[in-house]
Amino acid sequence: MAYVKAADREVQIVAAARRVLAAVGVSATTLRAVAAEAEIPLGTLHYVFPSKEKMLRAVIAAVIGEVVDTVRADLQLDRGVEHAIRQGGTRVWDALVEGDVGTQIMQYELAMYSARTQDSGGLARLQYEQYTALITELCEQAADSAGERCAVDFGTLGRLCLAVIDGLIVQYVANPDPERAERDLDRAFDMVVAFADPQPVVNAQARRRR
C-alpha cells in the first residue's frame, strides 16, 4: 500500500465514514464497514481512529468545519447584525440544507445516538456548543464592526438563532418544500432580528454634541 500522510488518511476515512453513515445510519455503521468503503485495511483505520466514538467526533468536526467555512465566506460583518443573521443563515440553508439534506439527517442521527449512548454522550453537546459559539461570535463581531448594540446578550441570541434554524431544518427533512422553507426562513429572520433589536451605538462625544 502506498504511503499516505496521517492527515490525508484521516480525511479519507472521514469521507468514507460520512458515506457509510448516510447509507446505513449511525447504529449500523461499523469501523469494518468504513474501512471497506475507504478501501484500506481495518488495522490502518484502527491506527487512525481506535474507536467508533473518535471517528464520529472527527465526522462532526468535519461537518462543523464546512458550516463555519460556508457562513464566513464573504460575510460582510461591517453591515451589522441583521445582515450577518440573514446572510449567514441563508448561506447555510442553501448550501447545507437544500443542497445536502443527507448531512442534516446524519447530524440528527448522531445527536440522538449520542444522547442514547454513554460512550458518545458528548457528541450532541459538541455539535450544539460549536454551532452556538459560531453564531454568537459572528453576531458579536458584526455588532462591533458596525457600531451596534443589541437588546439581548449575544449568547442568548446565538442559542435562539440556532433553535429557530434547527426547527426549520427538522421540518424540511420531514417534508421538503423549498418555497415554504424560503418563506418561513425569511419570517424567522424577521422574528430573531426584532428580538435582537440592533441599534447604532451613540458614543459620549456624540451625545454631548446634541
pLDDT over threshold 60, residue 206 = no
Cell of 17: 465514514
Sign, Cα dihedral of 194, 104, 125, 139: negative
Distance of CA 202 to the CA centre of its chain: 34
For position 71, what pLDDT does the model report?
A: 86
pLDDT > 70 in the chain, percent: 92
DSSP state of 73: T
For position 1, what pLDDT does the model report?
A: 53
For position 207, what pLDDT does the model report?
A: 45
pLDDT over threshold 50, residue 209 = no
Give the Å distances, CA to CA, from 1 to 39, 40, 41, 187: 11, 9, 10, 54
For residues 99, 104, 176 and 90, what is the CA-based torsion angle, rounded to 10 degrees? Answer: -50
pLDDT over threshold 70, residue 2 = no
- The pTM assigned to this predicted structure is 0.84
Cβ burial, residue 25 (10 Å; 0-12/13-18/19+): middle
Q: Assign domain 1-50 to its CATH architecture.
A: Orthogonal Bundle (1.10)
- Dist. CA 169–CA 146, nearest whole Å: 29
Start-end ranges of CATH 1.10.357 in the chain? Answer: 59-198
Specify the range with the lowest mean pLDDT, choosing from 115-124, 127-136, 153-162: 115-124
Start-end ranges of CATH 1.10.10.60 in the chain? Answer: 1-50
The confidence band for 119, taking pLDDT boundaries of 50, 70 and 90, is low
pLDDT > 90 in the chain, percent: 65
Cβ burial, residue 174 (10 Å; 0-12/13-18/19+): exposed
List pLDDT tens digits, range 136-191: 999 999 999 999 999 999 999 999 999 999 999 999 999 999 999 999 999 999 99
pLDDT over threshold 60, residue 210 = no
The confidence band for 115, taking pLDDT boundaries of 50, 70 and 90, is confident
Question: Which residue, among 158, 157, 149, has the nearest Cα to 199 in the 3D structure?
Answer: 149
The confidence band for 132, taking pLDDT boundaries of 50, 70 and 90, is very high
Class of domain 59-198: mainly alpha
